[in-house]
Amino acid sequence: MDGWTAADVPSLAGRVAVVTGGNTGIGLETARVLAERGGTVMLACRDERKATEAASQIRATARDADVRMVHLDLASLGSVRQAADEILASCPRLDLLINNAGVMYVPFQRTEDGFELTLGTNHLGHFALTGLLLPRLLATPGSRVVTVSSVAHRYGQMHFDDLMMTSDYRPDPAYGQSKLANLLFSYELGHRLAAAGAGTASLAAHPGVVLTDLWRTSPGWQRALISPRLRLINFWAAQPVSQGALPTLRAATDPAAQSGEYYGPGGFHEYTGSPVRVESTAASHDPAAQQRLWDVSEQLTGVRYTVTA
């Protein structure tokens, strides 16, 4: 279906969605549309003040929306476990888990648990959260997990011998590795769910190029190139947040979307355009890498999944 828009999102009345990083950028737009379609939306965010402001913004356009908040710091496994407990306690069903939050182009830092911050936040935190919420997802018919990757996965490489990149850390390769990890995880989760005969689907999406708060740590020249002020020039290379959220929304709600699929913009280099099914690199489909990352992620996080290969 070409030209898919937010208007194609079906009614979500009675359904519950958790959106990590739902307080800003693509996450906020995703949460807003889900709420406007009648879904109960839980914003899982690190900054509670920003989450409260985001909930107010959503209610301004979706007046009867059921918008909730839970504190979630993906750079802390303790916080991840606490957030999962709160979600499970308050949500008797869970239809959508959208692993959206992330960091990009940051100096070398470690999470509370000693992981390199980019991988720890973008992949390991979401791996742990998904595993902890999986029993509730499995118990909800037609549930989906959508993991947000990036075009940056194309230059990503898994440094399994130095996963935290302590010997040669650079922000770009660290981000690329984390976004490749998102896809390896999404595909492996889909394989395991299918092998177990589960009704839960695992999909992935990427927004193309969108100027959001995620770019705040990138070089100034990069932010300038995709600035909305240069819209007449860079329209082919960057798109607004409302458009950037569509691949995630399609993966999450399109009845025709299937487990294992990957959605992104259909335009030039997948930078912009309407959301369509896209292909990821051969590296993201490497079964050995998928299995190895899964095993390492279970060891590092201590979260064991209830489905097996």
Residues labelled as active-site residues: 175
44 sits in which H/E element: strand 40-45
Please, which contacts does 110-113 make with residues 24 or more away whose CB atoms are closer than 8 Å?
110/164, 111/75, 111/76, 112/73, 112/75, 112/76, 112/77, 112/78, 112/79, 113/76, 113/77, 113/300
**Structure tokens of 43?**
């914003």
In angstroms, rounded to a whole number, what is the distance separating the alpha carbons of residues 304 and 60? 40
40 sits in which H/E element: strand 40-45
Angle at 127 between CA 42 and CA 87, to 5 degrees: 25
**Structure tokens of 173?**
């390769």
Asked whether the beta carbons of 98 and 44 are under 8 A apart, the reply is: no
Asked whether the beta carbons of 274 and 265 are under 8 A apart, the reply is: yes
The conformation of residue 238, written as its DSSP 8-state character, comes to -
In angstroms, rounded to a whole number, what is the distance separating the alpha carbons of residues 37 and 27? 16
